[in-house]
Amino acid sequence: MAREIGEPREAKSSKVKQQKKRRSKKESKTRTVHANILYDHAKGDDNPNRHYANNKIKTTKYTLLSFLPKNLFEQFHRFANVYFVFIALLNFVPVVNAFQPELALAPVVFILSVTAIKDLWEDYRRHRSDKEINHMDCLVYSRTERRYVEKYWKELRVGDFVRLRCNEILPADVLLLSSSDPDRLCHIETATLDGETNLKQRQVVRSFLDLDCEFDPCKYNSVIECEKPNNDLNRFRGYIIHRNGRRDGLYKDNLLLRGCTVRNTEEALGIVIYAGHETKAMLNNNGPRYKRSKLERQMNVDVFWCVIILLVMCLFCAIGHGLWMYQYGDKRPVFDVLSPEGTDLSPALSAIYLFLTLIIVFQVLVPISLFVSIEIVKICQVYFIHQDMELYDEETDSQLQCRALNITEDLGQVQYIFSDKTGTLTENKMVFRRCTVAGVEYSHDANARRLAMYQEMDSEEEECTSHGGTLPRRDSVTSHQSAKVVLRSQSTKSHRRTGSRAEAKRASILSKHTAFSSPMEKDITPDPELLEKVNDCASQMEFMRFHSQPFSHLPSDLSDIIDFFIALTICNTVVVSSPNQPRQKVRRFELKSPVKTIEDFIKRFTPSRLTSGSNSSSSSSLVTTRSASHKACSSILSSPSAESTLTKLDEERSRGGTLDHAFSPVPPSYDETKSLIQEEGELRYEAESPDEAALVYAARAYKCSLVGRLPDQVTVELPHLGKLNFELLHTLGFDSTRKRMSVVVKHPLTDQITVYTKGADSVIMDLISPPATDHSKGKRQRKILFKTQNYLNVYAADGLRTLCIAKKVLSKEEYASWLRRHLEAETAIQGREELLFESALRLETNLHLLGATGIEDRLQDGVPETIASLRKAGLQIWVLTGDKQETAINIAYACKLLDPEEEIITLNAESQEACAVLLEESLHYIQAKFLCNASTDQHASRVYHQDYSALHVPAPACSPYASLHTVPFLVHRLGLVIDGRTLAYALEKSLEDKFLAVARSCRSVLCCRSTPLQKSKVVKLVRNKLKVMTLAIGDGANDVSMIQVADVGVGISGQEGMQAVMASDFALPRFRNLQKLLLVHGHWCYSRLANMILYFFYKNAMFVALIFWYQFYCGFSGSAMIDQWYLIFFNLMFSAFPQLITATLDKDVSAATLQDLPQLYMNGQNSEEYKPYMFWMNMIDAFYQSLVCFFIPYFAYSDSDVDLFTWGTPITTLALLTILLHLGIETKTWTWMNWASIVFSVCLFFTVALCYNASCPTCYSPSNPYWTMQRLLTDPLFYLLCVITPITALLPRYFYRACQGTLFPSPVHIGRQLDKLPTEIRRHLLSQTRVKLGSLGALFASRSSSFAFSRPLTKQSQRQEKAVAPPQPKSTEVTDTPRSSKHPENHLGPSQKKEKRSHSQSQRSRVSALTDLLDNTQGPLRGPSLTDTDTLPYTRELPRTGPVLEPATLTAAVESSDHAWVTSTPLLPQTECIQLTLSRPGVSPVIPNERSSESGLSSDQRFLSQEDRMEHTQTSDCPKENTLKTTFL
Amino acid sequence: MASSYNAKDEDGHHSGSGGPAGPGVNKSKKPDNTAFKQQRLPAWQPILTAGTVLPAFFVIGLIFIPIGIGLFVTSNNIKELEIDYTGVDPSSPCYDCAQNYSWNSTAPCVCSVEFTLDQPFEGNVFMYYGLSNFYQNHRRYVKSRDDSQLNGDKVSLTNPSKECEPYRTNDKKPIAPCGAIANSLFNDTLELSHVNPNKTRTPITLVKKGIAWWTDKHVKFRNPSGNSNLTIVFQNTTKPVNWRKPVYELDPSDPENNGFINEDFIVWMRTAALPTFRKLYRIIQKSKDNLTPTLPRGTYVLDITYNYPVLSFDGRKRMILSTISWMGGKNPFLGIAYITVGSICFVLGVVLLFIHHKYGSRSTSADIPN
């Protein structure tokens, strides 16, 4: 799944190459499939399919025999393991050995075996699930028995014929050859593959389409040639070659994919094309991703430092040893033993040997168990995150899933969040809100009231109160369960590595969210006025039909209305089903249109009366086609080719067929209709996207209901007119590039070939045919266009999703010529996608606008709060959406992403150059606005830094950003809005730096109209260039690439299927869960792990340093006073448990406080728990502690008769106690488990020591510790040492922590103090955060005063800012927006603005910039928790590089060059803006003036201005100019 | 399959009528609301601030200083006398011996050192020999022994461990005891006599048993069994290179102190931790009546059979007489350490008190007043 998104693009680019190759090596590039029944044995040598993989799947990595070597081999890929094994092996060299070689192997073997056992267990689970799946049953045609017999899945082979029954899971990728469905369709549910719960239709291969008789495998002797197996779920190409040499194309619509479930189809037959591991489902199945977290990367640096320290220590000792030996000269002292061979070692050689020995002795310095410990801790963390009740969503019965196990701590370090909008911020429950038809707006007030009511209602109530809501749900559940059991085992296979949770999740989604809309989406209250008109219209039409009047007499507004609703009803891919038999589509009414059985679109289009040459009734056509199809059955492949159809078309044209033959007959019996009406309320619509369903429901509210959909026919029930069958000639599906979909139908009333198009307003508006300029109709058209555009803006301003509906009537000739080329495209085997795309573009031109709709997508619960709190946490939130700019902006306001008080920079450029200029100017603007008082800034920063040093937060020193750009950045109160096209330019290599420079200084960034690829590009850019931690969150397939690129990918397991979830590292039920996930779990995970890693380094260094100090007293001989057993097991056993417990359970701040004080999150963002200097501080502390632990026993035992190990054992004990107490100081919460683990560790040490020292008097050379510990325990000196040494060793740290807690508490510390306060006081404090922060930071006395001073100024300044217009190039809108309808007093009229915008304002702008800056810098300074903001790297140094532009001069400079002009469009509040333009159309405040001065501009520039005008939609001649625009391909 | 069917049906039904909180809940994936899983285990959350830590420092100070004083006094009550007899200084009586002696010389060199006790030694007096600059803790030296051989294992006796190299065999015969430690056995003989006022000498009884660990003497070290006559047992072995006499002649007078279980040998085999060390040599037992001091005030003579060369590695040899207390020999360090650490804690406590007084109140009260 993961790769799938990126694939098609790659595929396209490489397609050309492939095609070239294909010519030469055709055989290797395609797969040829013959039917197996033609050959004796499936595996026989003569079977051409024998080389293809069979259907047995084996996902295990190992076999019993290969496990050990293979697993070891894999483990040795990890460098650390190799290192430790190398050291262990070094021990086998006698000259250098330090320990008993066998013993030295122990830790490595232990670690390797722990990992191996884990792997083995996983593999065993895979094996079991494989086995289960391989032994599922399916029906396969047997040659010998001449019938279908049950076989295991694993026995299935390519070329087998399989028979699939309803609710069965497909065992392999099967080409559909026959279906019991009369339409030759097979419905499948692909939820296991892509999570989409709606049914997909698959078609029988064209050649077998008109087989009416039973498909007989024995008669099949065609050969299939198709692509090699690949993982693209949405592509399948190939052709089938029949005996007679005829070829037919095969498409993805013919292929049933493994893992899908057959629905609604009693029986289907197919031939296996890909089996087993070559199926698309399996090829898509790549396991969880292994990412390396930021913390681990940092850790690896320090591991490297450890190695360096180790080498330095060894080198030091080696030199020392050489010198030590050298001092004795030739006189060998008795204690300097010769080498085992009896040869004399020279000092140099001895030093070299010693170096190696010491590497072994000091190996613990490089923490062998750290890696294992980290893994264990992460698994525990994941477990706890899973268990969090607050991350559980009752409604969907889903909880958080961690799919990536090794990046939990990254959650605590995220700096940028990239969010999708629809489905992520919003519920993705589309509700029809209002519409405009033919330029008349129907506000649907009642509907709005209804929605308001729903908003108050609980979601639970929603489900129970509505009859329509509950019933279907239960039904859907029952209908699924039989399949679900099977499905479950299936999904273990197809997504085996996602774990059982994912699978259970999928099941729950299936049961609860089977694409049925909630009542909120269904019950739409119609607008009475519109309803009236519809009725009116319908009755008129009925009248006309009755009187056989041509429909063109219908008033155009009325016809528009009816067309509008017809378009809503049929221009979609909604499948109708009835609730009683869910997933059982509504059968068509008895009277079938004859064309059903004809295989070609064209054939269907060409009614039989044409062939027969008469105006015959449909019944006669039925007969003809029937007979034709019978013929087709007998000689399988005699279906008419496209050419013949076209001939017929030509024929018809020459005849000049008058097409007066009225609509196709209405279903005859009225009773039937009636019964259907009764049933109608229970019809349910399953749509691929929720807005499709919303529109259909909306249409139904106006009695235009969709009652049936077949591949070639849509049945619509209209008021008065009854049921109408629209012949569906073509469906040009929705795609994100075209942003629209079209259907070509034959209108049953007018019998015209009509194209209905529905799509994004920006696209559709461009495709509308320009109204004729002269006569009144054209004028009216123009007016409609203009009005509609205005309404669209209003909708967008309300945050509604807008769609435009348009239609086009084609003449037969036009259609024929289009059809000819379309057919070519369709039948093309290579490059079909592109050709079809172009063909669609050819059709969708010169449309006639019908109307527009506004659909509301409600915000999810708690989104504004979550965003506000995430922002407080210092996270930069970017929203990347495919939506229209205005909609996006409004949603952004609604969810508090944009603040009414902040300015918005809008970037809309039409070309690369324009974009460059735009970015440049924005940058200048930002600099001019915010940096013109650099001196003040510097002053501020200086003050700031002093505070910092006082705080002992070494923020300035370590910014990863410093290197990237020379210009440092502040995050301003700015919002950036950029649209997709501009984004494309901005993402070019040459501009990306500038774009980032602008974007990073903005508080929030909104990218509208962005494609999935752009989304991922943006994330990649930010991640790579700014070197920040990024998190991408989204719910749909279009977010997958973004999710994959980001450091942390989060999927919302919402309604749009599972694709995002499959690609994500974490899957959440709701957006609001992100808050807890990041602020609480992220923080905890990060601080726990960071502390554990630091502790690990400390622990090992401290332990090893003990031996290092000893080298000074043993002639640098590599001797260790610590028994080798202790030395080796110290890490593994004695000191391991407490740290694991602490790293798993420690909570520095409680969850409640973390959520109440999001500022604490910056702790992780700035890596405050684990900064590089901390490693060194820890090292220094470790060395100090080891000095204490070494020298107190040294002096206590100096010049005594103590022996080596009786002296070393107390040291070991002291080290253990010190290390544990050190952990105690660092532990923030002590649960009983912490106590238990520490007591356990100490007891374990003494028990082991006592047992070990009593076990064998002669073993364990050379230490021979017999009875040492026992003797020590009777020695009072030992106890005296145990008391004084740890205390002395930990005194500095303890003292430091105490002082830190009092003198310069970190925000986290304050959070902890808050925790301790009684709830009441806490709540009180948190409610007035500002006060609290001020008081907490009371030590920064100077600040509170400046704060008080800056506050009133700020407001003033904002006023002034509005007035200051920065110089901007054309087509920029630097909108100084007080754009909030909530603060109407802020809105100045444009004229006022213009007035104010004089150069003399520069002075004021400076003032405002200064105050703003003060506000900016003071804000963060207000409290200790806010001080964190400042550690954000870009706020670190205050900018002073770059030209400090005086706005006045800048303006002048810009204005002097005449191609640039300035707008200060008070774009928003939009309503206001629009009203203004409505009252005085054409007197748009700025643009006309500018235009007049612009006459001499190049066409390119003119172009820009036009675009700009489009933005504002003020000029009446806008549509005309639209034609100048190039259509976006 | 059937059970799953029913469960689902029920689930669907109940969620339809009563919301998802129905009996179907057992099917739901809702996490358990337990303190552990929700990470709400009751916990003690110490916050380290000057105020909270303050008492600890004072308590440590108050406990440590008395202990330190006690230790210091105890240590000071221990009487200890140290005599360096290496003979580096030409005026030293052993100067000649030191200069002339090497491992290979045959004739023993004897010298005497006279010393005076200013204070009587009471109770058992322990006599140590001390070596300086002798790296008994050298890695290769420490390893150079065969514990099995020393434990009386017959196989190891004739075929010592490779660890003993290059002191494993001599003249094709296995060395017993093998290894560098045994080879370098301290072989000076020290005798002590009291010089009476009439210049006559009264030899002082030096007890040579009980100086080794009991477990060493009885568990770790054993003579090869089979024959009480050690000469026969060690028949096929040879003495270590540097030794004057074989192992079975270490103490011919007492068979319980001969061979591998010779206590001087055992004491030597317990390798010292640091290059300057002392090893227990003899015990002078207190007089039975306990009325006269073990070593009364007066002049003593130490007779040394000077065998052990140390000058080659710049070593020193000492004889130490010491009484002991419950905490071992004389070592004022621990007492001083306790007093020092206690004082530091006290001082830090005062500092913290100051900090707490000046800043602490603000930071804690700052939370509350508003």
Interval A1158-1204: pLDDT, tens: 888 988 888 888 889 999 999 999 999 999 999 999 999 998 999 99
Residue A1371 · residue A1508 · CB < 8 Å: yes
Task: Give the separation between CA A915 and CA A904, rounded to whole angstroms.
Answer: 17
3 state SS of B321: strand
Distance between first and last Cα of chain B: 63
HSE toward the beta carbon, residue B258, CA cutoff 13 A: 17
Rg (CA), chain B: 34
| Contact between A392 and B31 using a beta-carbon 8 Å cutoff | yes
Question: Among A1428, B326, B172, which Cα is nearest to B334's?
Answer: B326
| Contact between B39 and A1145 using a beta-carbon 8 Å cutoff | yes
Side chain identity at residue A230, one-letter code: N
| Contact between A1305 and B363 using a beta-carbon 8 Å cutoff | yes
| Contact between B44 and A463 using a beta-carbon 8 Å cutoff | no
- Catalytic residues of A, which ones? 420
In whole numbers, what is the pLDDT of chain A averaged over residues?
70
Task: Give the separation between CA A822 and CA A835, rounded to whole angstroms.
Answer: 8
Residues 6+ apart with CB under 8 A from A467: none
Indicate if the pLDDT at residue A173 is higher than 80: yes
Residues 6+ apart with CB under 8 A from A560: A437, A438, A850, A851
Contacts of A397 in chain B (CB under 8 A): 20, 28-30
| Contact between A473 and B348 using a beta-carbon 8 Å cutoff | no
Task: Give the separation between CA A804 and CA A848, rounded to whole angstroms.
Answer: 11
Please give the C-alpha separations between residue A275 and each of A53, A55, A260, A937, in angstroms, as whole numbers. 6, 5, 14, 68
The count of other CB atoms within 10 Å of the CB of residue A117 is 11
pLDDT tens digits along A682-707: 677 776 667 777 788 888 877 788 87
Mean pLDDT of A49-70: 82
B50 to chain A: closest CA residue: A1298
Task: Give the separation between CA A148 and CA A156, rounded to whole angstroms.
Answer: 12
- % of chain A beyond a pLDDT of 90: 13
Of A315-324, A609-618, A1431-1440, A1497-1506, highest mean pLDDT: A315-324
Mean pLDDT of A1093-1117: 94
B-contacting residues in A 488-517 (Cβ below 8 Å): 501, 504-505, 508, 511-512
Strand A974-978 and strand A903-907: pairing? parallel
A149 interfacial to chain B (CB closer than 8 Å): no
The residue to which tokens 């006592």 are assigned: A1250
> Which among A387, A477, A1277 is the nearest to B8, CB-wise?
A477
Question: pLDDT value at position B8?
Answer: 32
Residue A1508 · residue A827 · CB < 8 Å: no
The count of other CB atoms within 10 Å of the CB of residue B95 is 15
Residue A1372 · residue A1460 · CB < 8 Å: no
pTM for the structure as a whole: 0.72
B-contacting residues in A 1197-1256 (Cβ below 8 Å): 1197-1208, 1225, 1228-1233
Q: A1321 to chain B nearest CA, in Å?
A: 7
Which residue positions of A form the known binding site for ATP? 420-422, 692, 734, 758, 801, 881-883, 1009, 1015, 1038-1039
Indicate if the pLDDT at residue A1061 is higher than 50: yes
Question: Among A749, A761, A733, which Cα is nearest to A843's?
Answer: A733
Indicate if the pLDDT at residue A722 is higher than 90: no
- CA A961 vs. chain centroid, Å, equals 26
The count of other CB atoms within 10 Å of the CB of residue B69 is 14
Residue A885 · residue A1009 · CB < 8 Å: yes
Question: pLDDT value at position A455?
Answer: 53
Residue A944 · residue A1421 · CB < 8 Å: yes
- The residue among A167, A328, A337, A1214 with the most chain B CBs within 10 A of its CB, best to mutate, is A337
Q: Is the dihedral of CA A605, A607, A613, A616 positive or negative?
A: negative
- The residue among B47, B82, B178, B350 with the most chain A CBs within 10 A of its CB, best to mutate, is B47
And the tokens for B276? 């300057």
HSE toward the beta carbon, residue A1191, CA cutoff 13 A: 11
3 state SS of A1243: helix
Q: B94 to chain A nearest CA, in Å?
A: 21
Task: Give the separation between CA A91 and CA A106, rounded to whole angstroms.
Answer: 12
Q: B264 to chain A nearest CA, in Å?
A: 13
Indicate if the pLDDT at residue A1487 is higher than 60: no
pLDDT tens digits along A25-42: 444 577 888 887 777 655
A328 interfacial to chain B (CB closer than 8 Å): yes
Of A328-332, A1149-1153, A1355-1359, the poorest mean pLDDT is in A1355-1359
pLDDT tens digits along A867-891: 889 888 888 889 988 777 777 887 8
| Contact between B37 and A1267 using a beta-carbon 8 Å cutoff | no
Mean pLDDT of A191-206: 69
Q: A474 to chain B nearest CA, in Å?
A: 5
A342 interfacial to chain B (CB closer than 8 Å): yes
More confident residue, B63 or A449: B63
3 state SS of B234: coil
A1152 to chain B: closest CA residue: B40
Task: Give the separation between CA A423 and CA A882, rounded to whole angstroms.
Answer: 12
pLDDT tens digits along A1125-1134: 898 888 888 9
Burial readout A271-290 (b: 16 or more C-beta within 10 A, e: otherwise): bbbbbbbbbbbbbbbeeebe
And the tokens for B256? 């319980």
3 state SS of A1092: helix
Task: Give the separation between CA A188 and CA A191, rounded to whole angstroms.
Answer: 9
- The residue among B8, B146, B276 with the most chain A CBs within 10 A of its CB, best to mutate, is B8
Looking at chain B, how many residues does it have?
A: 370
| Contact between B367 and A388 using a beta-carbon 8 Å cutoff | no
Question: Among A703, A699, A189, which Cα is nearest to A476's?
Answer: A189
Task: Give the separation between CA A1069 and CA A862, rounded to whole angstroms.
Answer: 13
Q: Is the dihedral of CA B345, B347, B349, B355 positive or negative?
A: negative
Question: Among A155, A280, A305, A266, which Cα is nearest to A226's?
Answer: A280
Please give the C-alpha separations between residue A442 and each of A439, A448, A531, A718, in angstroms, as whole numbers. 10, 12, 10, 20
pLDDT tens digits along A664-683: 343 433 344 444 444 444 67
Residue A36 · residue A52 · CB < 8 Å: no
Q: A871 to chain B nearest CA, in Å?
A: 24
DSSP string, A519-542: HHHH--PPPHHHHHHHHHHHHHHH
The count of other CB atoms within 10 Å of the CB of residue A819 is 26
- CA B115 vs. chain centroid, Å, equals 29
Question: Among B344, B354, B307, B356, which Cα is nearest to B86's?
Answer: B307
Of A205-219, A1294-1308, B339-353, highest mean pLDDT: B339-353
A15 interfacial to chain B (CB closer than 8 Å): no
Question: Among A1394, A1388, A1398, which Cα is nearest to A1358's?
Answer: A1388
pLDDT tens digits along A1340-1363: 333 333 332 333 333 333 333 333
Rg (CA), chain A: 38
> Which among A337, A384, A1201 is the nearest to B144, CB-wise?
A337
For helices A642-655 and A812-827, the axis angle rounded to 10 degrees is 170
| Contact between A386 and B165 using a beta-carbon 8 Å cutoff | no
- The residue among A132, A1141, A1258 with the most chain B CBs within 10 A of its CB, best to mutate, is A1258
Task: Give the separation between CA A793 and CA A203, rounded to whole angstroms.
Answer: 41
Task: Give the separation between CA B338 and CA A1192, rounded to whole angstroms.
Answer: 11
Residue B336 · residue B68 · CB < 8 Å: yes
Reported as a pLDDT band with limits 50, 70 and 90, residue A1367 is very low
Q: What are the residues facing B321 on neighbouring strands?
A: B81, B127
Q: What angle do CA A1404, A1408, A1414 make, to 5 degrees?
A: 145
Mean pLDDT of A1415-1430: 35
B-contacting residues in A 1073-1132 (Cβ below 8 Å): 1113-1115, 1117-1119, 1121
Q: What angle do CA A1383, A1388, A1393 make, to 5 degrees?
A: 150
Number of Cβ pairs closer than 8 Å across A and B? Answer: 348
Please give the C-alpha separations between residue A1235 and each of A649, A1137, A1481, B43, B329, in angstroms, as whole numbers. 89, 11, 78, 10, 37
Mark the ranges of chain B whose per-residue pLDDT is less than 50: 1-26, 363-370
3 state SS of A192: helix
ipTM of this predicted structure: 0.92
Task: Give the separation between CA A1487 and CA A1514, rounded to whole angstroms.
Answer: 9
CA diameter of chain B: 118
HSE toward the beta carbon, residue A675, CA cutoff 13 A: 5
Strand B201-203 and strand A161-165: pairing? unpaired
A1277 interfacial to chain B (CB closer than 8 Å): yes
pLDDT tens digits along A331-388: 788 888 877 666 677 888 889 999 999 998 898 888 878 888 888 898 888 889 888 8
pLDDT tens digits along A1062-1104: 778 888 888 888 999 999 999 999 999 999 999 999 999 999 9
Which residue positions of A form the known binding site for Mg(2+)? 420, 422, 1035, 1039
- % of chain A beyond a pLDDT of 70: 65
pLDDT tens digits along A124-157: 888 888 888 888 888 888 877 878 888 888 888 8
Task: Give the separation between CA A505 and CA A914, rounded to whole angstroms.
Answer: 48
Question: pLDDT value at position A14?
Answer: 44
Side chain identity at residue A448, one-letter code: A
Mean pLDDT of A958-981: 58
Residue A1330 — φ and ψ, nearest 5°?
-60, -45
Please give the C-alpha separations between residue A1385 and each of A1196, A1364, A1389, in angstroms, as whole numbers. 81, 17, 10
DSSP assignment, residue A55? S
B-contacting residues in A 391-450 (Cβ below 8 Å): 392, 394-395, 397-399
Q: B347 to chain A nearest CA, in Å?
A: 11
Task: Give the separation between CA A768 and CA A771, rounded to whole angstroms.
Answer: 8
3 state SS of A978: strand
